[in-house]
């Protein structure tokens, strides 16, 4: 059972940060997972009054506030125009609209959940996180850090000429994923680069980069070999949803599927 002794709606980020330094303090996101636990929280800190629930678009970036909901990612016009259906695809299997209207981007990313669909997608994109005390760092660096008491203020995705696909496998609709996969390609420093992120292994998503030269004329067995090479870079575990060997096989299939989809894009 979750118990909360004190509730504070922060007036500033500074106030929220200072309150959060206490050992038994906790930032409230959407509370979709926190409420299911048995934590005893001395001070619960609400960030909902700090304007962190907006998605800002400029010529160079999308800046997504930590209190934005997954539903906002799903319906935002700018994100859809830039990424096509990929952003919506990454969240559409997460329980239902009511759930996605409450679950927050900050909670999902800061929690580094093994089952997080959006962490998998964001890792493959050119993504940074803005921390109150720690500054702005790459998401790929953030996920490797030990959890601390800093505040996640926003997630920043840089716009670039890249193609992206997202894939996931679930045993039943709305269930936790057995495996998640995002594949992104673009030209970086004059070289064709492929970014592959695989999550729900059942560990949190991890990213690998490959300098592959793949065209529409690339043979199917070559694509399969690339997918197998990338899938072998990850560690997999076994739980009730699948074995480690099964997950690695799924990773090969999803990576190859995403590559083929990108190659057929007009």
Per-residue pLDDT of the chain (266 residues; tens, 9 = 90+): 778 889 999 999 999 999 999 989 888 877 666 666 677 888 989 999 999 999 999 999 999 999 999 999 999 999 999 999 999 999 999 988 998 999 999 999 998 888 999 999 999 999 999 999 999 999 999 999 988 999 999 999 999 989 999 999 999 988 899 999 999 999 888 889 999 999 999 999 999 999 999 999 999 999 999 999 999 999 999 999 999 999 999 999 999 999 999 998 75
Which residue has 């990612």 as its token pair? 73
For 105, residues 6+ apart whose C-beta sits below 8 A from its C-beta are 64, 65, 66, 67, 68, 69, 70, 72, 73, 118, 155
Alpha helix locations (H) across 101-207? 105-111, 117-124, 139-142
- CATH class held by domain 55-158: alpha beta
Residue ranges covered by each domain of the chain? 3-45, 55-158, 163-263
Contacts 24+ apart (CB under 8 A), 239-244: 239/202, 241/171, 241/175, 241/176, 241/178, 241/202, 242/178, 242/179
Q: What is 163-263's CATH topology?
A: Enolase-like; domain 1 (3.30.390)
Which residue has 């200072």 as its token pair? 18
Which residue has 């996605």 as its token pair? 100
Alpha carbons 224 and 203: distance in angstroms, whole number: 24
Alpha carbons 130 and 151: distance in angstroms, whole number: 9
Is the pTM here over 0.85, yes or no?
yes
β-pairing, 127-131 vs 40-46, is unpaired
Alpha carbons 254 and 205: distance in angstroms, whole number: 14
């Amino acid at each position: 059972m979750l118990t909360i002794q004190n509730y504070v709606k922060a007036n500033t980020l500074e106030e929220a940060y200072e309150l959060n330094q206490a050992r038994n303090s906790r930032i409230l996101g959407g509370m979709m997972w926190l409420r299911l636990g048995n934590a005893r929280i001395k001070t619960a800190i609400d960030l909902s009054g700090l304007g962190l629930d907006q998605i800002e678009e400029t010529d160079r970036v999308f800046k997504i506030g930590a209190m934005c909901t997954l539903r906002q990612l799903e319906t935002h016009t700018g994100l859809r125009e830039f990424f096509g259906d990929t952003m919506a695809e990454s969240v559409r299997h997460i329980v239902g609209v009511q759930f996605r209207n409450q679950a927050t981007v900050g909670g999902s990313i800061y929690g580094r959940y093994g089952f997080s669909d959006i962490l998998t997608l964001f890792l493959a994109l050119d993504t940074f996180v803005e921390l109150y005390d720690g500054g702005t760092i790459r998401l790929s660096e953030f996920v490797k850090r030990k959890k601390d008491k800093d505040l996640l203020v926003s997630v920043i995705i840089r716009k670039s000429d890249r193609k992206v696909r997202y894939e996931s496998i679930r045993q039943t609709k709305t269930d936790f994923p057995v495996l998640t996969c995002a594949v992104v390609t673009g030209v970086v420093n004059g070289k064709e680069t492929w970014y592959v992120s695989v999550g729900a292994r059942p560990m949190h998503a991890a990213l690998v980069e490959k300098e592959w030269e793949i065209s529409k004329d690339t043979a199917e067995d070559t694509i399969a070999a690339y997918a197998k090479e990338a899938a072998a870079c990850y560690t997999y575990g076994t739980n009730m949803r699948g074995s480690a060997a099964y997950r690695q096989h799924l990773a090969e299939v999803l990576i190859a599927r995403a590559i083929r989809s990108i190659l057929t894009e007009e």
